Amino acid sequence: MIKKKQKNSQKKMQPKIEERIHAEDYNNYVKHIQFDNVTISPLGRIDIEGFVNHEKEDYFVFTLDLNVEKATDYSFSNSLAKKMGNFDKESPAPLPSEQTSNNTQTKLSTPEERQAYLKSLKGLNLSDL
Residues 33-83: pLDDT tens digits? Answer: 999 998 888 877 888 999 999 999 999 999 887 666 677 789 999 999 999
Is the pLDDT at 1 greater than 70, yes or no?
no
Residue 6's pLDDT band, with cuts at 50, 70 and 90, is low
pTM reported for the whole predicted model: 0.67
Round to whole Å and give the CA distance between 65 and 78.
24
DSSP reduced 3-state for 85: coil
> Hey, is 55 helix, strand or coil?
strand
Q: What structural domains and CATH numbers belong to the chain?
A: 2-96 (3.10.450.130)
Residue 102 has pLDDT above 50, yes or no: no
Q: What integer pLDDT is reported at residue 101 of this predicted model?
A: 43
Among 25, 33, 79, 68, CA closest to 54? 33
Task: Tell me, rounded to whole angstroms, the distance of Cα 28 from its chain centroid.
Answer: 12
